[in-house]
Structure 1
């Protein structure tokens, strides 16, 4: 079984919605049930990549990678499974307001432990995470960070703990996860992570991702009166731009036969075909609100 990781860098704010909710936000973003950490469901990732693949691959290849299109009604045509399986998107770095750098990229031991586990499964080497045990009043930063004696994130102040081992994670993310190859326009972000990476406790991270997302109030106007239509006032939650996530892609069990067939036909196996799609269309729209510029994410095959 072959496993690969795709990094997902939000170039614009993202709204992967869950539908209406009875909370303070009518249209919230998708979140993990146990942790409350923002995510994008694997079905949404698969659908967006499938739509992109239609533009550069034949229909037969699209079906072999992603399976048959869903039936229009229950009891429809026989469905063929695809050769690829997609995980939900997993958060790695969350942008927060700060004093010093233009913004701080915040993570936690739990998020780093997840990416370490997934990277090792994919055959990638990454730094160790065992030493990260910040208290709720501490923030680990790199030795070359732009923070002062205290680290200010949102409305909170933390005791600064500069540690060279944080440098290793910053270099790993800069060199292997952020968009980079052949993209001089991303030089700022690759340098910025070295200056602004902050590791806080898991409980603090949960608070930041709960209260640090963008909540936008929107209205619908009467085209003639230019006044708000009665009842057309609602709030939407967005994952902020510059959020860094990733997802895991696995060649499904039936992909073994596809790999063998691809070798016989001198074609790329399923993951190779997906890599071709991402290389030809590195920026893909995920989630809703496409017509107002939301959800554009740059992908990178690790």
Structure 2
């Protein structure tokens, strides 16, 4: 049994997703989403994945640790931060709590541990854009690098290269407001684990064009606060916010660590049947939470039609 396992997850946005940059800014929208500083591409931070995953694992009917009474009659809540100092987390390691052990807990000196699941930022892989040929998905060589697709990707500097058969006969194609000619390129998405219809409508653009097209085609919504006294729009309360659009394909990594080297209060980490806490056990608990992303969502504006994210490559039987 390996001491750790790296798994790459692929997900599709079922709704627009808004993970705010924190506060209003002087930009084209009042509430922008968070971006990668080096590329200016929108992303979903690992914290915005691990937090909901923890809560949803705790809510899972097979676990039921969102708010529960332990054998000693003490009320605990293993979701969230667990109170001001983590005192509401149960922190049980033998048998291991399926929430506290994968995601970590802190109950003061000598009784805390980091989570055995390490979450990393979700990056955009394929981005949907409206065109005269219908919806197309764009990507770039840098975005696809390191996915193990056994293919070299090359894109024309100022054009597009169709990766799917559906767009092979298009000599020109618009991506929102930007019209580009077809150019010479290289690439193959055969081994890419996303729906076939999306792969057939995917095109490759250069690394310099990809951020420009993405940031020009984000969803932007306008909202207004309502004055409860009049039931009409409140003066000066109009605001705009942006979101990653529905249909975007993202990837994120999670590293699952074995618990066999960990000790908490001189106790070893053991499962309910007395076995070691291995990577497969940790992954099974986390994927119970990831499954609920497609129902309960992540990020902000969840009551305004945003947030649902479907993870495409969960292991069957664990969720």
Q: Which runs of 5+ in 1 are unaligned?
A: 121-125, 179-189
- Whether the 8 Å CA contact 1:93–1:245 is kept in 2: the answer is yes
Residue 127 of structure 1: which of 124, 139, 150 is its match?
150
Count residues in correspondence: 270
**Measured at CA, do residues 211 and 255 of structure 1 come closer, stay the same or move farther in structure 2, by a change above 3 Å?**
farther
| C-alpha deviation, 1:142, in angstroms | 2.5
Among 263, 272, 282, the residue aligned to 1:270: 282
Q: Does the CA contact (< 8 Å) of 2:31 and 2:240 recur in 1?
A: yes
Q: Is the 8 A contact 1:251 1:270 kept in 2?
A: yes
- Residue pair 1:2, 1:251 contacting (<8 A) in 2 also: yes
Q: CA RMSD in A?
A: 2.9
Cα distance, 1:40 vs structure 2: 0.7
**Structure 1's 6 and 288: CA in aligned 2 closer, same or farther, altered over 3 A?**
same
TM-score by length of 1: 0.79
Secondary structure at the counterpart of residue 124 of structure 2: strand
Deviates further, 265-274 or 217-226 = 265-274
CA shift at 1:204, angstroms? 0.9
Q: 1:279 to 1:46 in 2, by over 3 A?
A: closer
- Structure 1: distance between partners of 2:110 and 2:59: 24
Q: Distance between the aligned counterparts of 2:27 and 2:292, measured in 1?
A: 40
Residue 245 (structure 2) pairs with residue 243 (structure 1): no
Consecutive unaligned residues in structure 2, runs of 5 or more: 66-77, 79-96, 315-319
> 1 or 2, which has the higher helix percentage?
1
Q: Does the C-alpha gap of structure 1 residues 96 and 144 become closer, same or farther in structure 2, counting only changes over 3 Å?
A: closer
Say whether residues 1:151 and 2:179 are aligned partners.
Answer: no
Partner of 2:68: none
1:223-271 CA distances to partner (integer Å, 9 max, x unpaired)? 3423321221111011110011011001247575599845952774212
Pairing 1:136–2:158 present: yes
1:256/1:282 Cα in 2 relative to 1: closer, same or farther (>3 Å)? farther
Residue in 2 that maps onto 1:41: 45
The alignment status of 1:92 with 2:125, answered yes or no, reads yes
Distance in 2, matches of 1:210 and 1:83, equals 35
1:182 aligned residue: none
2:222 match: secondary structure? strand
Alignment partners' CA distance in 2, 1:154 and 1:226: 37
- What is the distance in 1 between the residues matched to 2:226 and 2:291? 41
Return the match for 2:105 from 64, 68, 71: 68
Query: How far off is 1:209 after superposition?
Result: 1.6
Q: State the partner residue of 2:85.
A: none
Contact 2:155/2:161, CA 8 A, preserved across alignment: no
Greater relative contact order (Cα 8 A, min sep 6): structure 1 or 2?
1
TM-score normalized by structure 2? 0.75
Residue 51 of structure 1: which of 49, 52, 55 is its match? Answer: 55
